[in-house]
Amino acid sequence: MGPGSTGIQSMADFAVITHTLWDEAPRIRHQLTDLLLCAGHRTWFFERPEPPLSLPRAAVDLGPRSPTRVPTRHLLHHQLRVTPLLHRLNASFVRADLRAAAARAGMSGTPEVINFAHDYWFLRDVFPGSRIMTIIHDDFEAQSRLPFRSHITWSLRRTCLSSDRVFAVSEPLRRRLSEWCDAELFLPWAIEPYRHPQPGVDRRRLLLFWGHVDTAIDPDVVRSLSESLVRRGPDWGLLIVGPTASHRREQVIAPLRSLPNVRIMGRTPLDRLPMDRVVAAVLPYRNTPAVNAVTLANKSMQLLAHGLPLVVSGMPNFLDLPFVVRLAECGGPDAALDRCIAGFEAWQRDIESFLSTNGPEARLRQLRIAPGSPFPA
């Protein structure tokens, strides 16, 4: 273990290293940055690197309760670093760029480093004396666009071995990284407090998909859910709510638009939806390597905060919890929906307990970080 491994006990400086822009759709690196800020720590968010010929841009202080946004550059995209030599050439460039970017951003001393970059195995050279915690959030090897992936494995392995602690956001990833290090499972946390749903499950006639409406959705599963709802009556329906990350929205929703009792909406906060009529949230995903690796989807915590059980397809590594209903194990949507109706009230205590033990303080404790100031009420 490196310096600082006993944990942070007061306000500290954090460098969050990412391959993400701060203004992209929030994911775990944004959420953890917000968590650090809410806990009273000073935070610099190092953004997705740009090509080497880009002019160095100034860091942007986004104001109170926001990170300082730090632009960075790289020499070669990680998919193109197909030999150790190319990795090392890129590392030489990025080392110098990160040092300069940190200086321009006003960062000094020995910050704590939370690294989301699978290919930055040289961060100890940039931040000597810092504790480096790496969080691997995607299966970068499986996502390789080339027919081989040894160059991804080369950098991923070295990044893990050079870190003080390593975390993975899914159980398959944790098992993979455990070949090289003592990786820990790092799950999402409850952003919103639990609220007990209004009584009267007999008045609940809606299923809800709330998330990215994209190609991960299995239209055959949605069709079977729609058919089940039609059999129950015209007052039953399925809401599909959310944005599409690409230009392919029409292609995604076209096979869903004609289904009976299915309504499709754009991005909408949960509080603006008829939550008192929803009996369960559905995650109707295809069987793909990326989806099957999911252990707990980020949005799950927000849905559970409204007391909703989860109906899932695919995702064989999804957590086994009393209020998680698997379509495959139930034998189909009719039985799954019957189970949600029967268990809705009884599961509320389990849902509340799960959220209370998986709040923001629990994730900070896992990282050995104490709040530098009290959490806001």
The beta strand positions in the chain, using DSSP E, are 13-17, 42-50, 60-61, 68-73, 112-115, 132-136, 165-168, 184-185, 206-210, 237-241, 262-265, 278-284, 310-313, 324-326
- Cα–Cα distance for residue pair 222/261, rounded to 1 Å: 11
CATH topology agreement for domains 13-189+360-366 and 201-354: yes
- Cα–Cα distance for residue pair 127/200, rounded to 1 Å: 56
Two structure tokens written together for 194: 């639990």
Task: Look at residue 9 in the predicted model and tell me its pLDDT.
Answer: 52
Consecutive 10-residue runs of the chain (377 residues): their mean pLDDT? 47 94 90 93 95 89 90 90 93 96 94 96 96 93 78 95 96 95 94 91 96 90 96 95 83 88 94 96 90 88 97 93 94 95 97 95 90 53
Q: Is domain 13-189+360-366 annotated with CATH 3.40.50.200?
A: no
Each domain of the chain, given as residue ranges in start order, spans 13-189+360-366, 201-354
pTM: 0.85
**Secondary-structure class of domain 201-354 per CATH:** alpha beta
CA distances in angstroms from 137 to 28, 68, 90, 340, listed in the order given: 8, 22, 22, 31
- Cα–Cα distance for residue pair 316/259, rounded to 1 Å: 27
Give the closest residue to 20 by CA, choosing from 69, 65, 57, 89: 69
What residues have CB less than 8 Å from 259, skipping those under 6 apart? 222, 223, 226, 238
Task: Look at residue 374 in the predicted model and tell me its pLDDT.
Answer: 52
String of DSSP letters for 5-24: TT-B-S--EEEEE-SS-TTS
DSSP 298: T
Backbone angles phi, psi at 357, to 5 degrees: -95, 0
Task: Look at residue 142 in the predicted model and tell me its pLDDT.
Answer: 80
CA distances in angstroms from 211 to 197, 232, 256, listed in the order given: 21, 25, 15
String of DSSP letters for 208-238: EEES--STTB-HHHHHHHHHHHHHH-TT-EE
Q: How many CA atoms lie within 13 A of 289 on its CB side?
A: 8
How would you label 304-342 residue by residue, b for 16+ Cβ within 10 Å and e otherwise?
Answer: bbbbbbbbbbbbebbbebebbbbbeebeebbebbebbee
What residues have CB less than 8 Å from 376, skipping those under 6 apart? 38
Task: Look at residue 3 in the predicted model and tell me its pLDDT.
Answer: 41
How long is the chain?
377
Two structure tokens written together for 71: 């632009």
First-to-last alpha carbon distance for the chain, in angstroms, is 35
C-alpha angle 213-215-221 in degrees, rounded to nearest 5: 85
Give the closest residue to 18 by CA, choosing from 60, 66, 74, 58: 74
